[in-house]
Structures are given as C-alpha cells and as structure tokens.
Amino acid sequence: MEFNLNFQTIMLTVLQPGDYVGFTFFIGSMAMMAASVFFFFEMWNQEGKWRTSLLVSGLITFIAAVHYFYMRDFWATNGTSPTEFRYIDWILTVPLMCVEFYLILKAFGAKQSLLWKMVFYSLWMLVAGYLGETLYRESSPLWGFISTIGYLGIVYEVWMGSAKKLANNSNNPALQSAFSALGWFVLVGWAIYPIGYMAIEGSGWLSGVLNPKSLDIIYNIGDAVNKIGFGLVIYSLAVSSKKVQA
C-alpha cells in the first residue's frame, strides 16, 4: 500500500503529453548535467588557470542542472513558473559567469576590483529583479528599470570598460576572439532576461505580448545556451592556448 502511494505520487510529476514547457525543463536539466560532466572531466586535461576556469564552468552548469531538476518537478506538479528557484539559480551562476571574465583576463593585468565590480552589478541586477517579480510586483516596471542598470553596467565593462581594454591589449588572438564571443553572450543572450521581465503579466511594459508559458520556454532555452555556450567558449580557449604552448 505504501509502495503504491509513493508510486502514484511520483507519477503526478511526470511529463504530460503536449507539455512543451515541461519538455524544455527536462531537456535543460539533462543538457546542463551532461555539460558539467564534460567540463569536470576535461578540466584534468588542462593546466594552470584553464583548469580553474573549466572548474568554474562545470560548477555553473552543475548548479543550474540541480535547480532545473527541482524546477521541472515544480512545474510538473503545479503548472506555474518556478520563480524562486530561477532566482536562486541565477544569484549563484550569474556572478560565477562574471568570475570567468576575470579569470581569463587575470594574466593580462585584471585586478580584483574588476571582479568585484562585475559581481556587484550582477547581484544588483538579480536582487532588484527578484523584488520586482515577487514582493513588489505591482511596481515591477520600476524594479525592472533598476535591475537593467546592473545589466547595463556589465555590458559596459565587457564592451567598453576596463575588461574590454584588457582584452584589446592582449596579443593573443584566441583570447580576443573568446572574449568577443563571451561579450555577445552577455549582450544578446542575457538580453532575454530583461525582455522577459518586461513581459510580466499584468504589470510589465510588454504584458500580453508574450504568453507566460512562452517566457518559461525562452528562459529555459536561453539558460541552457548561455551557460553551456559560456563554458564551451572557455574550453575552446583553453584548448587553443594548449596548442600554442605545444
């Protein structure tokens, strides 16, 4: 009897036919777990700072994968967006993605002030975003504006600020190419988050333009592409640097 009850409980959280949102949750969780395994194994084939960079890449996708396991069950059980889980994931993984910029530029003179500045911008963006999407939803446009300031601070550092200057001063074409790719991830890939925020039902500037379920699909695909893609750029840079040294 107890076994049957537990089995029925498990069955309530399975993916239902036609649940495209749930499908992307399942795909996202497995894709990021697979990426984590890849980064953790490849980490031992690298040396020095690249081993640390791939470790951070693996941590980013691993943390995201664990949260996606929870988010997919939350969605399957409740049929609503797992907002809290998303922000817990982002508040851990987005600062780590900022750490990646610092790690690849450290050899070219990047100071810890750059690291803390980008982490500060990322936390500003996420905390303001969370407040506007949960506690102060009726004034979400204001909180969305405040959150976007943090996002623009990161974009500035990557495209015009000290991080960009350090990359330009490097005589390593592979580094410049990788940094440019990471910059596009921030500019284009991360842009889905403020756009999605503006589409919050009822209070967002773009409310009604996008179906709330479509937003979860966009977030899920965007998360997987951004986090895995970020790590693959770091991996490509590590492999290129190893070939040059050889």
Residues 6+ apart with CB under 8 A from 14: 76
- Quickly tell me which residue has 């993605």 as its tokens: 97
Backbone CA torsion sign across 91, 137, 215, 74 = positive
Can you give the pLDDT at residue 118? Answer: 93
Residue 198: the pLDDT is 67
Contact 103, 49 (CB under 8 A): yes
Question: pTM of the prediction?
Answer: 0.86
CA atoms in the 13 A half-sphere facing the CB of 64 = 36
Helix, strand, coil percentages (3-state) for the chain, rounded to 5, are: 80, 0, 20
Q: Which two tokens stand for residue 44?
A: 């031992």
Question: What is d(CA 137, CA 124) in angstroms, rounded to the nearest whole number?
Answer: 17
CB distance 131 to 163 below 8 Å: no
- Architecture of the structural domain at 18-245: Up-down Bundle (1.20)
Chain-centre distance of CA 181, in angstroms?
A: 15
Residue 229's Cβ-count burial label (10 Å; 0-12, 13-18, 19+) is middle
Question: Residue ranges per domain, the chain?
Answer: 18-245
Q: What is the pLDDT along the chain (246 residues), one digit of tens a residue?
A: 444 444 444 434 566 777 888 889 989 999 999 999 999 999 998 877 789 999 999 999 999 999 999 998 898 888 888 989 999 999 999 999 999 888 888 877 888 899 999 999 999 999 998 998 888 877 877 888 898 899 999 999 999 988 888 888 877 787 888 888 888 888 888 887 777 666 666 555 555 566 666 778 888 888 999 999 999 999 988 888 766 555
Whole-angstrom Cα distance, residue 206 to residue 42? 42
The sign of the dihedral angle between the CA atoms of 182, 168, 194, 99 is positive
Question: 128 Cβ partners below 8 Å, 6+ apart?
Answer: 143, 144, 146, 147, 149, 150
Query: What are the helix and strand counts (H, E) for the chain?
Result: 10, 0
